[in-house]
Amino acid sequence: MMKILIGLMPTLISLLTVILFYKKLHPAWLRLFFYFLVFTLAVDAGAAFYSQYFKKSNHLILNIYLPVNFGFYFLLFFKAFERRSFKRFASLAFILFILFYLCDIIFIEGFYYFNIYSFCLGSILIVLCCLLYFMWLFTSDRVMNYFKMPMFWISTGLLFFYTGNLVQMSLMKYIIDNGLDPGSRIYDFIMVTLNVLLYGAFTISFICNQAWRKPR
């Protein structure tokens, strides 16, 4: 129980922050985070409790969450990108991911086993979106303060989370099949660390924007 609560804490803090600053969030599409975080928290809590108390695999729940999770991030990048070509990339990445996800569900890993291939593809596409966003920041001809830009923090969190997860997830099948991580201690350690980084970055993104703050 304690382990689950600790695991959910970063998401909960992020959700509370988005509620607190909901009306002041700028740009307005950042408010979508509220719905996303409520859904994420419900799925994470539901999956964890289901697995703990019914002693059954929660992969089905996580597989349903997968397209929502990646779909939301692709939508974020679609909104954040200013160049049309980058927007097109975000749209194509979403379509590619959904098509692959359907193939994975129907032909490869199925509904009841966590779709690692889809997760890895989604991770690579999100990392590419983050890199495109950073490329735009790098080449931009405007005076910018990254630390006050919500999307900078969101991209940073996503980049840490999905690059950090990539090695583990690509070897996940091998690790599980061979029982190399009994008690999922390494998995839990990496996931908790990455979750703290991801939701910590999200939390900062909700409060970093100076536009709504009163001038001193």
Quote the CA–CA distance of 93 and 58 in Å, as a whole number: 27
Q: How far is the CB of 146 from other proteins (least distance, A)?
A: 6
12 CB-contact burial (10 Å; exposed 0-12 / middle 13-18 / buried 19+): middle
Nearer to other proteins, 76 or 159 (CB): 159
Determine, following the binding rule CB under 8 A, whether residue 175 of this chain makes contact with other proteins.
Answer: yes
Q: Nearest 5°: phi and psi at 86?
A: -70, -40
Quote the CA–CA distance of 16 and 10 in Å, as a whole number: 10
Quote the CA–CA distance of 63 and 59 in Å, as a whole number: 6
**Strand, coil or helix: what is 36?**
helix
Nearer to other proteins, 8 or 159 (CB): 159
Tokens of 82: 């200013």
Determine, following the binding rule CB under 8 A, whether residue 176 of this chain makes contact with other proteins.
Answer: no
Q: How far is the CB of 34 from other proteins (least distance, A)?
A: 27
Determine, following the binding rule CB under 8 A, whether residue 178 of this chain makes contact with other proteins.
Answer: yes
- Collect all residues with Cβ–Cβ distance below 8 Å to 112 and sequence separation of at least 6: 57, 59, 60
Name which of 157, 164, 105 is nearest 129 in CA terms: 157
Selected from 35, 167, 210, 212, the binder of other proteins by CB under 8 A is 167
Q: Please report, as residue ranges, which positions from 14 to 43 form the binding site for other proteins (by CB under 8 A).
A: none
Selected from 120, 166, 176, 192, the binder of other proteins by CB under 8 A is 166
Selected from 31, 51, 168, 176, the binder of other proteins by CB under 8 A is 168
Name which of 210, 214, 206 is nearest 28 in CA terms: 206
Q: Please report, as residue ranges, which positions from 131 to 160 form the binding site for other proteins (by CB under 8 A).
A: 134, 137-138, 141-146, 156, 159-160
Determine, following the binding rule CB under 8 A, whether residue 82 of this chain makes contact with other proteins.
Answer: no
Q: How far is the CB of 194 from other proteins (least distance, A)?
A: 9
183 CB-contact burial (10 Å; exposed 0-12 / middle 13-18 / buried 19+): exposed
Residues that contact other proteins, how many (by CB under 8 A):
25
Nearer to other proteins, 101 or 119 (CB): 119
Determine, following the binding rule CB under 8 A, whether residue 180 of this chain makes contact with other proteins.
Answer: yes
Q: Which chain residues interact with other proteins by CB under 8 A?
A: 134, 137-138, 141-146, 156, 159-160, 163-164, 166-168, 171, 174-175, 178, 180-181, 186, 190
